[in-house]
Chains A and B, each alone.
Chain A
């Protein structure tokens, strides 16, 4: 029998779980102390924010919240590998990517705190808002990429989806469309091993999630998603390819969801503590800290100072969120259409009249 096609999926990692350098061929940014420390500080900042957000939910001051603990390298790596003109189509957990792009933590809190204004965020006005239905954002990113290509703009659309989301029709449709049209599209499959209670192996028989891109004709790469050097390098590689007209890429970023799916979930119902304990030994923040400390680029004192600073920043954001007054009743009518049709205007008046009765 002949051979139609063979494939391989490369795997990218620089730092191992202990922060030991496994691949000395470091990208430029990782050789620069300021840049690498900057990335570390971003990760730590996100982790401090996340803990505050969970605490807010536990004390009844926030609605259901999707924690990002454990994903810091994946998220900050995605955000820092993109240009500001590029478009990010997140799912609902990638705060680290969004903060790098200018979204404020208070806006994340507003969204989960039940206020649409969170999605009218300070990040790039063209970035998509959080996408809860799973996977649909991948096609929106492909559509955005199509717009960039049609207008001959050197921009890239980057979508984030999870291991569960890699099973969705939309995700696979986006891969297919990106290949069919040669779109400047990057799909980051953030494989955190769990889709609520369903483990990665129950999603697909494929050996990697990266290879989901193969059938669409995209470049595919599996990445240690807890190694921010690898993530940022991979995203920069994929974004550059896309920007130069060489087509789309699927990146599988392997990480672990150290938290419950959301604050409404209880992961102890379906996974062993031992597995979670093991995952903590591979987590991204400590890994980079070890590396930076070994190079004397970071110290315990700087660590403590930065945590204090990050917590203070998070407190400012929490206070700003808590101080935000509820939107007026009519806001539910005022953004439905560019101009309210008569039926919406009529119901708006009825709603206001009822309030003032």
Chain B
């Protein structure tokens, strides 16, 4: 069993499902011989051929529209958007068709597709390559929205997404595609698409995050631990549907919650978590909820992008603000 990076775990998951299910196929720009610009589909065309690893014309509308048609007619397409910032032409097909196909036909047709999207900032990429746009999709009924943060969870969640009978937007934290390796057995074991993962137990504060920011949040928890502050870290992983119960259980214990995400703050998904805390956990809280997020600006070009993104220091400062309330 080899240790894999997050992106290698994604490749392993796709290969596993393509071997198990002849209706699974991959389509996108440069996914064939090139193996995808990030290499997520590297080697797949050699095993599965160009009929199932399909390079598309350079048009995101085409990718999304074909995927909807394929899915409605019995295939299980895994469509790849090359970058988060290029997925907007796909949105019509995702919102008007994929998300509502089952509902509007009362179940006669459905759309079991996965849209994989390399997501988020921090890789010194050109403009339009660094968006954290997940909250656009959490407001769309009929979708599931998933963002893994480790090789093992990437494998299990992508398997689940492919097997899911409904459309899944699968955001991939490109900044941590190759952050570290871990053992990822190719056992075909999927993870549930409706639970959060508690990555670290703690008693003083609950840190809630997803995607690339899991890295900074765990580092912040480590640093806080050295200062005698015990932080629980929750990787939301599937942000739609949200497993609020796991967050609530943690907050019952800690009384404090800091939400960390790199998307802009206003109407970012942290706002939904904060709203549910206000609705359901008001009396478990001993301090106001804090959000550490991107600013309500466009993510700057890369000379400034790290100033935009949440950081270990910003997270620690937010934790200390909540601890200052007694």
Contact = CB atoms under 8 A, between A and B. Distances in A.
Interface of A: 87, 89, 116-117, 119-121, 125-126, 128-129, 133, 136, 138-148, 150-151, 157, 169-170, 173-174, 176-177, 180, 331-332, 335-339, 341-344
B241 A341 contact: yes
B242 A144 contact: no
Given A133-B92, A147-B75, A338-B110, A142 B59 contact: no
A169, A335, A344 — which one has the most chain B CB atoms within 10 A of its CB?
A335
Contact of A337 (B66, B166, B243): B166
Interface in B154-193: 165-166
A173 B60 CA distance: 10
Nearest to A132: B96
Contact of B56 (A116, A177, A341): A177
Given A136-B92, A136-B97, A116 B103 contact: yes
B128 interface: no
Interface string B58-99: 010110111111111111010000000000010011001100
B105 A129 contact: yes
B51 interface: yes
Contacts of A125: 108-109
A140 B69 CA distance: 4
B241 A136 contact: no
Contacts of A139: 61-62, 64-66, 68-69, 93
B171 to A, nearest CB: 18
A260 B241 CA distance: 43
A143 B105 contact: no
B76 to A, nearest CB: 10
B103 A142 contact: no
A242 B80 CA distance: 28
B106 A338 contact: no
B62 A176 contact: yes
Contact of B108 (A119, A143, A174): A119
Interface string B131-165: 00000000001101000000000000000000001
A342 B194 contact: yes
Interface of B: 25, 51-52, 56-57, 59, 61-62, 64-75, 77, 89, 92-93, 96-97, 102-110, 141-142, 144, 165-166, 194, 241-243
Given A126-B73, A139-B66, A180-B57, A116 B93 contact: no
Contacts of A341: 144, 194, 241
B61 A173 contact: yes
A176 B108 contact: no
Contacts of A128: 72, 109
Contacts of A173: 57, 59, 61-62, 65
A143 B67 contact: yes
A120 B107 contact: yes
Given A335-B106, A336-B141, A337-B102, A170 B61 contact: yes
A151 B74 CA distance: 10
Given A139-B64, A140-B97, 16 more contacts: A126-B109, A128-B72, A139-B93, A140-B68, A140-B72, A142-B66, A145-B69, A150-B51, A169-B61, A174-B62, A176-B59, A177-B56, A177-B62, A177-B66, A338-B110, A341-B194
A154 to B, nearest CB: 14
A170 B65 contact: yes
Contacts of B51: 150
Given A133-B92, A136-B93, A139-B61, A148 B102 contact: no
B22 to A, nearest CB: 9
B321 to A, nearest CB: 30
Contact of A142 (B65, B89, B242): B65
Contacts of B73: 87, 126, 143-144, 147-148
A338 B68 contact: no
A146 B55 CA distance: 13
Given A120-B108, A173-B62, A143 B25 contact: no
Contacts of A174: 62, 65
Contacts of B61: 139, 169-170, 173
Given A136-B97, A173-B65, A176-B57, A144 B165 contact: no
A351 B194 CA distance: 22
B68 A143 contact: yes
Nearest to A125: B108
B77 to A, nearest CB: 8
Contacts of A151: 74
12 contacts: A119-B104, A119-B106, A129-B105, A133-B96, A139-B64, A139-B69, A142-B69, A144-B72, A170-B61, A177-B66, A180-B57, A336-B103
Contact of A343 (B72, B89, B242): B242
A336 B102 contact: yes
Contact of A136 (B65, B70, B103, B105): B65
Nearest to A168: B61
B260 to A, nearest CB: 22
A331 B93 CA distance: 23
Contacts of B93: 136, 139
Contacts of B71: 143
A336 B98 CA distance: 11
A170 B74 CA distance: 21
Contacts of B64: 139
A141 B107 contact: no
Contact of A146 (B70, B103, B109, B166): B70
A129 B111 CA distance: 13
A61 to B, nearest CB: 22
A128 B109 CA distance: 8
B105 A116 contact: yes
A279 to B, nearest CB: 32
A341 B166 CA distance: 11
B216 to A, nearest CB: 28
A148 B66 CA distance: 12
A145 B104 CA distance: 22
A127 B109 CA distance: 9
A332 B243 CA distance: 22
A138 to B, nearest CB: 8
